[in-house]
Every structure is written in structure tokens, then in C-alpha cells.
Amino acid sequence: MSALPTPRLASAMLGVVAVMAGCASVPSGRVAADRMDYGQVIAESWKRQTLFNVVRLRYGDAPVFLDVSSVINSYSVGGKATASASFPSVTDPNVFGLGAEGTWSNTPTVTYQPLIGDRFTRSLLNPIPPSAVFQMLQAGWPADLVMTTGLNSINGLRNDSYGAVGDAGFSEAVDAIARIQRTGGLGVRVEARKDGSAVVMMMRRDDVESLRDVRRRLRSLLGVDDDATEFDVTYGLLPRNRRELALLTRSMLEIMLNLGVGVELPRAHAEDGRAPAWRNAGSSVPVRIRAGVTPPTDAYAMVAYKDHWYWIEDTDVAGKRTFTFLMILFSLAETGQPPAAPVVTVPSR
């Protein structure tokens, strides 16, 4: 007569089978973990790649961008449980046999796409549309950040560029626009016209004496009519009339080159001419990029290049804000469907 399993042993066997069956599904918590982990890694690599290219441009090297176009993570889970009962014997008193096995595999695949051809031209070489500048102001971006980063000039007033000090009137005009913006007195309207859509900047009139002085000074700096409240926004160096704002905007490549003003060159590199000297060191530095032979212990972003480390300090709030704005501009420059390009797919482990 065979030995039958007791109720306690039968329950244990059923428990093992249930556990193995439960392991046959991917837990929903993996979605949150993967999203946060991969998102953090992509964000950090994006910062490092941008900083790396700013440093490369400072040394006269060509920028190279490799975008993460997709991340695919697949899981496979399997399990098996066995249970058996047999006759007891003298040599083997065990009458039950239990067995279990399980499999788990995680195979993420990351696809990279180089920035070349038309995408390179559109993202790096084309100037920022003047309409986009005022649309960002309308959306709440600070005027001092948007205009000092993205403009070469406004109505002929020159911004600091490539280490050369610009016109004092540019900074004063930007400061006036920022003050008007903070009070809600700046607006943008897009009009449909026969020759294409046009962007109109509006300055609201009010009874605040201090703002009246600010608007009066701004009109004087820009050379526009004193009684005008609306101005056509165009691309160019100089306006065609006294009711127009001519913006000479920068391309992404120009913005990166100007950020290179803040790269702190090692003394040896400055002495042997590895990087070009700027014409004037008295201009403002948008982002201060430190350099050293050892990596910092705490940095917003850091990269290694030519046997040195370059980084933005995590305590440099103004520099981080400007650098983050540069990365957002890159996202805005990526419009439309990208053309087919060579891709590199690398399985991760």
C-alpha cells in the first residue's frame, strides 16, 4: 500500500506550485523602476553630451551628437514545480519528492541615432525664429535669460558675443523688457497676413509712473515711435521703420560657441595655443565651466576631455539655469519627422 501524503504535506506542495505560478508574471512595479532608472540615465547622459560638445567647440573640435531614439526593455519569466509520492523503503525513508525551477531574463535594447544631414542643419545651424523668442517670453521665460542667450542684436544694439563686449544699450533694453514682462505688460499676437503670418509685440499702457519711464527709455533705446504700443517682429540687423523690432537671432551652434567663453582653460592649454584666445575677456560669462586634473566630488554635469575634467558646479544656480535653457532649446529645434539615418542598436546587460 502506497504512502499517501498527509494534509500538511499536500498543502506545502500546493503552496510551492502557487509560488511558482505567481513568479510567472512581471510585477507592475518594474514599470515605475524602469521609467525612473532609464529616465535618469538618459537625462544625465544628455547633460554630459551637451557639456562635452561645448568644451569640444572651445578647443576647435566639431560637435558630435548621438540621440537616444528608443529604449526597449523586454522580460521573460518562467517557472515549473513538481511533486511526487513513492513507497518508503529501508534505504530511502523519504516518501515525497519536491522540485522547483524558475527562469528570469531582462534584455533592454537602446537605439542611437546620429545627428547628421538635414537634422544637423535644422537643429544647429538655423537661427532661432524671432517669433519663438517672443513666444517664450509670452510663456513666462525670463527676458534676461531668453534674450541674452538667443540674440546677437535687437534693433542694432549688439549683445556680448564670443568674448567681445556688446553695447550697453542692449543690456539696458533687455532689463527694461524684463521689468515690463514681470508686470504683465508685455504681450504677443500672431496675425495672418497675405505675405504670411506675422508676430506683433504689444506693450500695455498703464498709470504706473515708474513703468512709464521704463517704456519711454525702452522706446528711446530701440529707436521706435513714442506713441506706438504694437511692433512687428522681424529677423534682421536693423528695422525698416519705427514700428518694427528687428531681431538678429543666434543658431544653436552660436549659442554653444558663446557658452564656450566660460570654459576655464588649463594653463598649459592656454600657453601652447590649443584653444583660441577670445578678443576681450571683459564680457559677461553665461556659464562658468571649471577645469581640473581630478574630477569634482559634486557637480551638475562633468566630462573628461584632453586629460582634464570639465564641470559646472552644482551651486552655480545661474549657470545651471542657462545650461538647462540650452538643452530645452535643443528640444524645440527638433521639429518634424527626422529623415532616415544610420542607427546603432546596442543590447545592454
309-318 confidence digits (pLDDT tens): 999 999 999 9
Angle, CA 145 vertex, CA 192 and CA 207 arms, to 5°: 70
Most confident of 50-59, 92-101, 134-143: 50-59
Amino acid letter at 68? Answer: V
Q: Give the three cell numbers for residue 283.
A: 564680457
Mean per-residue pLDDT, 76-94:
59
Of 212, 234, 250, which marks where a domain is finished?
250
Q: Is the pLDDT of residue 303 over 80?
A: yes
Residue 264 vs residue 330, higher pLDDT: 264
Calculate the dihedral angle through the C-alpha atoms of 264, 309, 125, 118, rounding to the nearest 10 degrees: 180
Are residues 140 and 88 part of one domain? no
Of 217, 250, 283, which marks where a domain is finished?
250
Name the residue range of residue 79's domain: 7-117
Q: Is the pLDDT of residue 101 over 60?
A: yes
Are residues 138 and 238 part of one domain? yes
Give the Cα separation of 172 and 289 in Å (integer): 26
Residue appearing with cell numbers 539615418: 341
Are residues 240 and 133 part of one domain? yes
Q: Is the pLDDT of residue 178 over 90?
A: yes
251-300 confidence digits (pLDDT tens): 999 999 999 989 998 888 888 888 876 655 555 788 999 999 999 998 99
The helix/strand/coil state of 260 is helix
Q: Is the pLDDT of residue 340 over 70?
A: no
Give the Cα separation of 18 and 290 in Å (integer): 58
**Has residue 216 been placed in a domain?**
yes
